[in-house]
Amino acid sequence: MTGIKLSFGLSTKIFLGFTLGVLFGLVAPEWGVAIKPIGDAFIRAIQMLIIPIVFFSVAAGIANMGDVGKLKRVGGKTLAVYTLMTVVAGITGLATAHLLQPGVGFVGSTSTAMAPVSEVPTLGQFFLGMIPSNIFDAMAKGSVIQVILIAVLVGVALVFLGEKAEGIKGLCNQASAVILKILDMIMAVSPYGVFALMAYSMGNYGLEIFDQVGQFILADYAGLLAVWVVTSMVVVAYTKVSYSYLLKKISKVWMVTLSTTSSAATLPMSMHVTREDFKVPGWITSFMLPLGATINLMGAAVYLSVLAVFAAGFYGVDLSVAQMVNVVAIGTLLAMAAPGIPGGGIVMGTLMLQLMGLPFELVGVIAGIYRVIDMGHTTLNVSGDVLGAMLVAKSEGLLGCDKQGIPVALQANDQAPVVLHEDPIQAS
C-alpha cells in the first residue's frame, strides 16, 4: 500500500513556519527568544544578496530592451508615465498609512532598542548622494541607491553599444540568473527563518502583535484601493473608456494575478487584454508591458510606504516631513528595482527597514502574511502596466472609443477609427 506524499508550495511552507513559530513562542517564550539567531541568519543571507541582485537585475533588464528605435519612439514617455504612477502610488500609500496609523499604540514598542537613525539629508543632498565617487566602494559599502544608478548607466550603455557589448550583456544575464538561483535556495529555507522570527516575536511581545498585523493589512489594502481609484479615474477621463467596460475586461487579468501573485505569469493574459480588449497597438503592448512588469510596481510602492509608517509606529518613531519625502523617493527606487521573484517583496521590505534605521524583526511577521497582501500588490502592479499602456497609446493618437466608451483601434497612418469587432465581447 503506497503512502500518501504531501507536497506544499513555498507560500504554504512559509505559512506553516509562521503558524508553528507563533505556537512555539507562546508555549516556550524563553526558547523562542533563544532561537532568534536562526532568524537573524536568514535575514543576513537575504541582505548578502541585495547588492548583486539589484545591480545585475537592473542592468540586464535595461540591456535586454535592445531596440534603440523603440526607446526613441516611446521610451521617454513610457519611463515618465511609469515613474509618475509609481511616485503617486508611494505618496498615496504614505497618506493612507499616515491616516490609519498602523502600529501606533503598541505597548512593547518602547522596550525595543532601535538602531540610531542618522540625520535626514535634504532632497538635494539625497540626489547628490546617489552619485558614487567610487563604483566599487559603493558596492562594498552596500549603498543600494548608488548601485541602482550604476546599474542603470551600465544597462543604457549596453543598449547603445548593441552587438559590440554582447558579451557583457550575456555576462549580466548569466550573473543575474546565478544570483537569483542562490536567492531561490535561500528562500527555500525561509520557513525556518520565519519560524524563528515569529517564535522570537511571540516570546518577546505576545499575542498583542497580531492586532498590529491586522492594522498593517488594512492600511495596505486601503492604500492599494485608493491608488487604483485615482489612477483608473485619470485613465478613464483621458482615454474616454467606459469605466464599466474597463472593470469588466481587466477583471480577467485580476483572476490570474490573485491566483498566481506573479506579474510574469500574468503577462500573456495582460498583453492579450491590453491588445484585444483595449485596442492598444501590439508594438506598444509588447514594449510596455514586459518593461512595466519590471519597473512599474505600484503595489510594491504602496507596500513599502505603508511598511515604513507601520514600523515607525510600532517602534514609537515619529516621521518628519523630510523623512516622509525620503520614504517616497527610496520606495520609488526600490519598487522600480524590485526583483520579480517569490519573496521579492520580503527582500525589499528588509531593505526599506534597513535604510530607515529600524530593526528587522517585523520582516518575519510580514513574511508570514505576505501571500495575503501580495495578491493585492501583484494585482495593482499589473493593472498599472495596462493603464500606463493605454495612456501612452492615447497620447500617440492610437487609441479611441465609440459613443458607448468601447475602445476601437486607430490606424497609425490616417488615425481613422477601425472597429475590429462589432460585438466587443467577441474580442475576448
178-200 pLDDT, tens digit each = 887 887 788 778 788 878 877 88
Which secondary structure element, helix H or strand E, spans residue 120, and what is its range?
none
Side chain identity at residue 172, one-letter code: C
Using the structure block, give the residue that is written with the C-alpha cell 553599444: 161
Beta-carbon contacts of residue 143 (< 8 Å; ≥ 6 apart) = 132
Is the pLDDT score of 388 beyond 70?
Answer: yes
User: pLDDT: is 427 or 411 the higher one?
Assistant: 411
User: Please, which pLDDT band fits residue 74 given cuts at 50, 70 and 90?
Assistant: low
3-14 pLDDT, tens digit each = 444 456 666 777
13-45 pLDDT, tens digit each = 777 887 888 888 888 888 888 888 888 787 778
Instruction: Identify the pLDDT of residue 317.
Output: 75
Side chain identity at residue 57, one-letter code: S
Whether 88 contacts 227, CB under 8 Å? yes
Is the pLDDT score of 61 beyond 80?
Answer: no
* DSSP-based three-state secondary structure for 61: helix
Give strand pairing partners of 399. 409
- Give φ, ψ of 410 to 5 degrees: -115, 135
Report for 38-52, 122-136, 378-392: range of highest mean pLDDT: 378-392
Number of H helices, E strands in the chain: 18, 3
pLDDT above 70 coverage of the chain, percent: 74
User: pLDDT: is 88 or 68 the higher one?
Assistant: 88
Give the chain's mean pLDDT. Answer: 76
Q: How far apart are CA 260 and CA 241, in angstroms?
A: 28
Is the pLDDT score of 337 beyond 80?
Answer: no
Q: Identify the CA nearest to 186 among candidates 396, 45, 53, 334.
A: 45
Whether 49 contacts 182, CB under 8 Å? yes
Give strand pairing partners of 341. none
User: Please, which pLDDT band fits residue 287 given cuts at 50, 70 and 90?
Assistant: confident
User: pLDDT: is 160 or 256 the higher one?
Assistant: 160
User: Please, which pLDDT band fits residue 425 given cuts at 50, 70 and 90?
Assistant: very low
Domains within the chain, CATH numbers bracketed: 26-427 (1.10.3860)
